Structure 1
Amino acid sequence: MIYCFSIVIGGGVPESERAKELSKQLGVDILPLQVIQGHTPFRELVKRYEDDLIVAVGKGAPGRVMTEYGFKNVLSIDDYASCFPNIDPLAQYKKWTKMQPTDREMALRTDPCSQRVQAVFIVSDPVDWSRDIQVLCDILRTGGLPGREIAHQPPLFFANDDIAYQALFPAERLGMGAFRIALESIFNRIHTNNMEYTSYGKPNPFVFKNAENVLLQVLQSAYNNIQSSGEMQPFKRLYMIGDNPSVDINGAKQAGHPWFSILTRTGVFKGIGNHADYPADLVVNSVEEAVDYILRKEHTS
């Protein structure tokens, strides 16, 4: 019996780096291929924007993430904003911001002031909402050239659309979906056309199909006799363990067979029974309980 684990987690760092962290924490070898983060599907857009100037937004190292995917002309929003004097009117009050020399050199080398931004990618949760909304409105309203005339909006991509998530604070924290709502509300108020965007991440069935493809690649790399041709379905069951009914469970339900949804009471969901709107196939108290169930179900110990 073979078990493949495709780990769907938050982003902001390259999959290769996350795989190393998980390997150390779990005591097993995790391949970068087995790590699916919210922004992982962005690599499918490399051919479309490989040489174009793109802006990457979010915590961690969004520029490095996109560079590892193969994008050749990437700037983080920190780098991009630093090249436009006074673009953030509140910058003087943000004593906590700090620019790294290597980032500034990269930003100046690309001369973004004379290039149109061809696409914007929200890679992970934005840190400085006030600046990012201001700069993104500038980019989107002017066709990628802040300070210039109004022009057609460049494409905008979000890694996920989670409005809230459970962190260390007792109450849920606002996520990327909340940032998207804030940006969209302001943009639509000041611009003649509504903001256009594409949102990846759960509950989009694409995410689950992509996870299936990744798992199949892992199997094929280990067992050459497994083929993915035709209508073959190598998986009897795939388990989705999550704590957010509207995102995790809803996504698994939309994806359909072979997905089996397990809802945990460890995060967003803390109800006694099942969720009323997005009921899971199974509700448990913890991830450990979910894993125990899977091992029993699959006849192993």
Structure 2
Amino acid sequence: MPTLKSRRMSNAGAGLAADGMPSFAFAFDIDGVLLRSSQPIPGAPEALEYLHDNNIPFILLTNGGGKHESARVAELSKKLGVPLTEENFVQSHTPFKQLVEGSDTVDALEDKTILVTGGDGDKCRRVAEQYGFKNVVTPGDILMAYPSIWPFNQIFSDYYQNNTRPLPKPVDFRNPDKSLKIDAVFVFNDPRDWALDSQIILDLLLSKDGVLGTYSDKNGDSSLPNNGWLQDGQPMLFFSNPDLFWATDHHLPRLGQGGFQASLQGVWDATTKGAALSKTIIGKPHAATYKYAENVLQKHRADLLGGVDRMKRDVTKLDRVFMVGDNPESDIRGANEYESTDGTEWTSVLVKTGVFREGTEPAYKPDVIVKDVFDAVKWALKQEGWKRHID
């Protein structure tokens, strides 16, 4: 990867293109960068306000989620005092929208039955439905219909009772053709009930054709690839982010969705004696999420800069994106490793207000370490030769 110095030399004075438009943009993480425990970090509102007032494009790129984008941007606009829209906001599960109509590797899931787990109550179910998925089931739905699926069901029964719906089909492993079949499993957000979610996901990974309550007779067959595990039409497994830790109001980082993934992987390994677990993980630092985010940013930038004078015009190439984050293993690693097919260069900026602990060596080295997001914006503007003062 080229050093920041060499990149700056190749784009000297690139802060403004020939037509006066900014040739750079920003991508900000949220938790630990703009907010901490839902409260603005000092300097964050002022930094975003400056960018907004000067028509410098930016997006929020977070591994958080659990709510629909429209609800999240409404909350953030109020907290940060800057108008935000879905057009410049990408959260962990936003790219799942693409799978409603399918992709190069996944058939359309719009009319399939999917299991969605994570988040508060059934909020993630409702997000999935707003994306366009028509048949969404949660672990709570299954538990309330079949309490015996988890022997400790009474612990969370009151919680689930208020957030569940009848299943579209019964769970009847004796009649698989008439039983509930799950075509894909989505971990949309951090699971609240790791035990139940792990049990049901494991059941589906061991099933025949994703029919809950069945057990594939191919499991453990050494004559088959992967010793027969995941060789019998089991559902695809998707995770929305890999973060092991995230910043909360506690003085030490707390386990995130990555912790649940590690736990489920451990159970899978113990069950199958180390068979490969096929799964798709998006979110930072994965390239698919950075590619999706860059596409969103390019479109937002074109809409913003092309319409500044109320006349649509061609927007010059985006030379650089400054990724401002607090997590070396997601924000920084992702920006460092991502290679844009459009030639846009990503610069990593690490702040000290979140997961990263000052005095430690970051696992992935950023281009620069600064105090907070306000200093991050000041530093980036200086690199780009931006003349308008920010204070």
Q: Normalized against structure 2, the TM-score is what? A: 0.70
User: Structure 1 residue 117 and structure 2 residue 182: aligned?
Assistant: yes
Percent identity between matched residues is 35
- Summarize the Cα distance change of 1:274–1:261 in structure 2 as closer, same or farther, 3 Å threshold: farther
**In the alignment, which residue of structure 2 is the partner of 1:8?**
61
**In the alignment, which residue of structure 2 is the partner of 1:50?**
110
Given that 2:139 and 2:196 are in contact with CA atoms closer than 8 Å, whether structure 1 keeps it comes out as no
2:335 to 246, 252, 255: 252
Given that 2:169 and 2:180 are in contact with CA atoms closer than 8 Å, whether structure 1 keeps it comes out as yes
1:141 to 206, 209, 212: 206
Q: Amino acid of the residue matched to residue 185 of structure 2?
A: V
Alignment partners' CA distance in 2, 1:81 and 1:216: 44
**In the alignment, which residue of structure 2 is the partner of 1:30?**
84
Q: 5 Å matches for 1:162-181?
A: 162-181=243-262
- Summarize the Cα distance change of 1:226–1:208 in structure 2 as closer, same or farther, 3 Å threshold: farther
Task: Give the superposition deviation at 1:3.
Answer: 1.4
**In the alignment, which residue of structure 2 is the partner of 1:269?**
356
User: Structure 1 residue 198 and structure 2 residue 248: aligned?
Assistant: no
Greater fraction helix = 1
User: Structure 1 residue 241 and structure 2 residue 295: aligned?
Assistant: no
Given that 1:13 and 1:65 are in contact with CA atoms closer than 8 Å, whether structure 2 keeps it comes out as yes
Q: 5 Å matches for 1:273-292?
A: 275=362, 277-292=363-378
**In the alignment, which residue of structure 1 is the partner of 2:291?**
209
Alignment partners' CA distance in 2, 1:273 and 1:177: 21
Cα shift readout 1:146-184 (whole Å, capped 9, x = no counterpart): 221324421000001111122221222111112111112
Q: Amino acid of the residue matched to residue 31 of structure 1?
A: T
1:225 to 295, 313, 323: 313
Task: Give the superposition deviation at 1:29.
Answer: 2.0
Task: Give the superposition deviation at 1:79.
Answer: 2.2
**In the alignment, which residue of structure 1 is the partner of 2:152?**
90
Given that 2:144 and 2:157 are in contact with CA atoms closer than 8 Å, whether structure 1 keeps it comes out as no
- Summarize the Cα distance change of 1:264–1:118 in structure 2 as closer, same or farther, 3 Å threshold: same
Task: Give the superposition deviation at 1:17.
Answer: 0.7
Cα shift readout 1:90-134 (whole Å, capped 9, x = no counterpart): 11233662422xx434x33x2253231000000000000111111
Given that 1:56 and 1:76 are in contact with CA atoms closer than 8 Å, whether structure 2 keeps it comes out as yes
- Summarize the Cα distance change of 1:67–1:112 in structure 2 as closer, same or farther, 3 Å threshold: farther
Q: Normalized against structure 1, the TM-score is what? A: 0.89
Q: CA RMSD in A?
A: 2.1
Task: Give the superposition deviation at 1:271.
Answer: 2.5
Corresponding residue pairs, total? 291
Q: Amino acid of the residue matched to residue 4 of structure 1?
A: P
Give structure 1 regions of 4+ aligned residues with deviation exceeding 6 angstroms. Answer: none
**In the alignment, which residue of structure 2 is the partner of 1:104?**
164
User: Structure 1 residue 63 and structure 2 residue 125: aligned?
Assistant: yes
Q: Amino acid of the residue matched to residue 264 of structure 1?
A: V
Q: Amino acid of the residue matched to residue 124 of structure 1?
A: N
Given that 1:141 and 1:191 are in contact with CA atoms closer than 8 Å, whether structure 2 keeps it comes out as no
Given that 2:180 and 2:212 are in contact with CA atoms closer than 8 Å, whether structure 1 keeps it comes out as no
Q: Which runs of 5+ in 1 are unaligned?
A: 228-232
Q: RCO higher in 1 or 2 (8 Å CA, sep ≥ 6)? A: 2
**In the alignment, which residue of structure 2 is the partner of 1:40?**
94
Alignment partners' CA distance in 2, 1:93 and 1:79: 15
**In the alignment, which residue of structure 2 is the partner of 1:299?**
387
Cα shift readout 1:196-229 (whole Å, capped 9, x = no counterpart): 10100111122222111101111333424236xx
Q: Amino acid of the residue matched to residue 191 of structure 2?
A: P
SS of the equivalent of 1:239 reads strand
Task: Give the superposition deviation at 1:296.
Answer: 4.0
Q: Which runs of 5+ in 2 are unaligned?
A: 1-21, 23-54, 102-107, 172-178, 217-231, 307-311
Alignment partners' CA distance in 1, 2:169 and 2:290: 39
Given that 2:88 and 2:300 are in contact with CA atoms closer than 8 Å, whether structure 1 keeps it comes out as yes
SS of the equivalent of 2:148 reads coil
Larger Rg: 2
Task: Give the superposition deviation at 1:74.
Answer: 1.1
SS of the equivalent of 2:161 reads coil
